[in-house]
Amino acid sequence: MVIACGALAREIVHFRNMNAVPAFDVACVPAWLHNAPHLIPDRVREKIREYRKAYGRILVAYADCGTGGLLDRVLEEEGAERIDGPHCYAFYTGRQAFADLAEAETGTFYLTDYMVRHFDRLIVEGLGLDRHPELRDDYFRHYTRCLYIAQTRDAGLQVKAQAAAARLGLGYAYRYVGYGELEDFLNRAAAPTPDSGT
C-alpha cells in the first residue's frame, strides 16, 4: 500500500499502469496541504490508521515537505516509511543532482508536471497574485529562473511552463528527469511481501 501526496497521484498511477510491476494500491492525501504543511503529519497518520488492518506494509510517497521532521516522527510511531528527501524536487531529480543544481543557481523556482498543470490554482490563486499582482515582487524577488524538471516529455506542458515563467518575470530552463528516485521507491512498493498485501 502506498499513501501518497495528491501531487504525485497521476505519476504514481501512470507508473503502475505503464510498467510491468505487480499492482499496488494507492491512497492520497490532498495536495493542497502543501500550503499548510503543519497539517500533513496528522493527515498522513489518519490514512495509515485507515489502511493498517488491510495492509501489512505501508509506504509513504511524501518527502518531508516542510513539516520540519514532524512527518518522520509520525511515521516512526506508526511503523511506516517514506521516500527519502526534503521535497519532491529532490527525489524526482535525484538528491545529489538536485543539491548540485541548487548550489549552481540558488535563485531557482522549480516546477514539476503537477505544478505546471495546476499553476494558476497553486501559484497565481494560491499566493493571491490574481488579486494582488504586486505581491509577485515580494514572493519572487530573489528568484532568477524557473526550472521545469519534467516527469514526462510533453510539449504542451513545456509551453505552459514557459508561460508560467513569463508570468513570474523569471527566466526559463527545462530538464527532463523522469520519475527519478520515485521509480525505485515504487518498485519497492510493488515487490510482494510473504505475509501481507502490497
User: How high is the pLDDT of residue 178?
Assistant: 94
List the CATH code of the domain at 2-88+180-190: 3.40.50
Please provide residue 103's backbone torsions phi and psi, each rounded to the nearest 5 degrees: -70, -35
Q: What is the overall mean pLDDT for the chain?
A: 91
Nearest to 57 by CA among 182, 152, 154, 196: 196
Residue 18 pLDDT level (bands cut at 50, 70, 90)? confident
Q: Who's near 41: CB < 8 A, 6+ residues apart?
A: 67, 70, 71, 73, 74
Please report, for the chain, the start and end positions of each structural domain, with discontinuous segments joined by +: 2-88+180-190, 95-176
Of the ranges 5-14, 163-172, 189-198, which one carries the lowest mean pLDDT score? 189-198
User: How high is the pLDDT of residue 189?
Assistant: 79
Express each pLDDT in 21-60 by its tens digit: 667 889 999 998 888 899 999 999 999 999 999 998 899 9
User: How high is the pLDDT of residue 16?
Assistant: 83
DSSP category for residue 151: S
User: How high is the pLDDT of residue 23?
Assistant: 75
pLDDT of residue 82 exceeding 70, the answer is yes
Q: Who's near 17: CB < 8 A, 6+ residues apart?
A: none
Exposure on the CB side of residue 60, measured as CA atoms within 13 A: 29
- Rounded to whole angstroms, the Cα distance separating 15 from 32 reads 22
- Rounded to whole angstroms, the Cα distance separating 165 from 109 reads 9
pLDDT of residue 194 exceeding 60, the answer is no
Share of the chain above pLDDT 90, in %: 72
Residue-by-residue DSSP string for 98-114: HHHHHHH-SSEEEE-HH
pLDDT of residue 6 exceeding 60, the answer is yes
pLDDT of residue 20 exceeding 80, the answer is no
User: How high is the pLDDT of residue 21?
Assistant: 67
Strand, coil or helix: 145: strand
Residue 157 pLDDT level (bands cut at 50, 70, 90)? very high
